[in-house]
Amino acid sequence: MFEHKKLTDLNDYFTELNSRKEKGVYFYRINGYNETIKEFLQRYYEEARVSGVVIEGRIPNPDEKNLSYYEEIMGTNFQINIEFITMSLKKWLPRMNDYQRKNVAMSIYGTLDNMRKEGKNENMLKNAYIKFMCWLYYRFERIVNKLGENNIPKILYEGEISNYELKLISILSNAGCDIILLQYNGDANYLKLDKDSKLSENVNINGMTKFPDTFSVKWMRKEIEDRMNVRRLYGTEPQVRNCTNAWTEGRGLDDIRECLQGRGTDSALFYNCFYRINGVEDKLIYMNQLYQLYLEIKNSKRKLLILEETVPAPTMEEINSIKRKNYSTKEQMLMDLSNNIKYTANIELQRLINKAFIDIILEESNIQGMNLNKLTNKAVYLLCWLHRYQKELFVNWKMPEVSCLIYLGGCKNENESMFMRFMAKLPVDVLILNPNLNTKCCLEAPNLLEVSYTESMSVNKFPRESSEIHMGTAAYHAERELDSIMYQDSGLYRNQQYGKAVSVTLQTMYEEIAILWDQELKYRPNFSTTDSVVNVPVIFAKVSGVKDGLVPQYWSGIKSLITKDTFVVKNVPFIEPAGSNPIKPYVTEFYKNGRLQKDRIKSHQNYPYGFLREEIQNHILEKLQILIEQKSIKGTFENGTEYTIIATVLNMDKDIVRMIQKFDFTKKNPKLIYINTTEKMISLEDTILIAFLNLLGFDIVFFVPTGYQSIEKYFNKRVMEEHQIGEYVYDLNVPDFGKIPSNTRRSWREKIFKRGS
Per-residue pLDDT, 59: 92
Per-residue pLDDT, 753: 44
263: left (phi over 0), alpha (psi -120 to 50) or beta: alpha
Whether residue 266 has pLDDT greater than 60: yes
Whether residue 161 has pLDDT greater than 60: yes
Q: Which of 224-228, 300-304, 688-692 is predicted least confidently? A: 224-228
Whether residue 194 has pLDDT greater than 70: yes
State the Cα–Cα distance between residues 697 and 502, nearest whole angstrom.
Answer: 7
Whether residue 490 has pLDDT greater than 50: no
pLDDT-derived band at 733 (thresholds 50, 70, 90) equals very high
For 140-143, the CB contacts below 8 A with 24+ separation are 140/53, 140/172, 141/93, 141/95, 142/53, 143/51, 143/52, 143/53, 143/172, 143/177
State the Cα–Cα distance between residues 394 and 427, nearest whole angstrom.
Answer: 9
The answer to whether 457 and 280 are in contact (CB under 8 A) is: yes
Structure confidence by residue, pLDDT tens digits, 523-562: 888 888 876 788 899 999 999 999 999 999 999 999 999 9
Residue 706: phi and psi, rounded to 5, are -80, -20
Structure confidence by residue, pLDDT tens digits, 496-519: 677 788 888 888 899 999 999 999
Neighbours of 37 (CB within 10 A): 21
**Residue 719 DSSP class:** -
State the Cα–Cα distance between residues 518 and 515, nearest whole angstrom.
Answer: 7
Mean of pLDDT values over 42-47: 92
Per-residue pLDDT, 529: 81
177: left (phi over 0), alpha (psi -120 to 50) or beta: beta
Per-residue pLDDT, 742: 66
Per-residue pLDDT, 754: 45
Per-residue pLDDT, 169: 95
Whether residue 725 has pLDDT greater than 90: yes
Q: What percentage of the chain reaches a pLDDT higher than 70?
A: 94
Type and span of the H or E element at 529: strand 528-530
| Residues 628, 634, 639, 640, CA torsion sign | negative
The answer to whether 118 and 78 are in contact (CB under 8 A) is: no
Whether residue 485 has pLDDT greater than 50: no
Mean of pLDDT values over 31-56: 92
pTM: 0.49
Mean of pLDDT values over 729-753: 70
Mean of pLDDT values over 167-182: 95
Write the single-letter amino acid at 197: S
C-alpha radius of gyration, the chain, whole number: 40
Residue 382: phi and psi, rounded to 5, are -60, -40
Residue 431: phi and psi, rounded to 5, are -120, 115
Task: Supply the DSSP string of 59-109, one letter for each residue.
Answer: PPPP-HHHHHHHHHHH-S----SHHHHHHHHHHH-TTS-HHHHHHHHHHHH
State whether residue 698 is helix, strand or coil: coil
Task: Supply the DSSP string of 280-336, one letter for each residue.
Answer: BS-TTTHHHHHHHHHHHHHHTT--EEEEES--PPPPHHHHHTS-----SSHHHHHHH
Residue 722 to residues 182, 340, 544, 703: CA-CA distances in angstroms? 74, 57, 7, 10
**Is the preceding omega at residue 573 within 30 degrees of 0, hence cis?**
yes
Q: Which of 176-180, 215-219, 281-285, 322-326 is predicted least confidently? A: 281-285
Structure confidence by residue, pLDDT tens digits, 81-115: 999 999 999 999 999 999 999 999 999 999 999 99
Mean of pLDDT values over 151-163: 94
Q: What percentage of the chain reaches a pLDDT higher than 90?
A: 63
Type and span of the H or E element at 348: helix 347-365
Helix ranges (H only) for 154-270 are 163-174, 188-193, 217-234, 253-257
Residue 306 to residues 314, 389, 431, 461, 463: CA-CA distances in angstroms? 17, 10, 10, 10, 10
533-538 and 528-530 as β-strands: parallel, antiparallel, unpaired? antiparallel
622-641 in b/e form (b: 16+ CB < 10 A) is bbbeebbeeebbeebeeeeb
State the Cα–Cα distance between residues 330 and 367, nearest whole angstrom.
Answer: 14
State the Cα–Cα distance between residues 444 and 228, nearest whole angstrom.
Answer: 27
The answer to whether 62 and 70 are in contact (CB under 8 A) is: yes
Write the single-letter amino acid at 131: K
Residues 6+ apart with CB under 8 A from 451: 250, 252, 275, 276, 277, 278
The answer to whether 691 and 627 are in contact (CB under 8 A) is: yes
pLDDT-derived band at 232 (thresholds 50, 70, 90) equals confident
Residue 194: phi and psi, rounded to 5, are -145, 70
Per-residue pLDDT, 757: 38
State the Cα–Cα distance between residues 167 and 699, nearest whole angstrom.
Answer: 87
State the Cα–Cα distance between residues 462 and 407, nearest whole angstrom.
Answer: 9
| Residues 448, 454, 459, 460, CA torsion sign | positive
The answer to whether 685 and 489 are in contact (CB under 8 A) is: no
Whether residue 567 has pLDDT greater than 90: yes
Q: Write the burial class of residue 682 (CB in 10 Å: 0-12 exposed, 13-18 middle, 19+ buried).
A: buried
pLDDT-derived band at 594 (thresholds 50, 70, 90) equals confident
Whether residue 578 has pLDDT greater than 50: yes
State the Cα–Cα distance between residues 298 and 312, nearest whole angstrom.
Answer: 24
Structure confidence by residue, pLDDT tens digits, 390-434: 999 998 899 999 999 999 999 999 999 999 999 999 999 999 999
Name the average pLDDT for the chain.
Answer: 89
**Residue 727 DSSP class:** B
For 626-631, the CB contacts below 8 A with 24+ separation are 626/695, 627/688, 627/691, 627/692, 627/695, 628/591, 628/596, 631/716
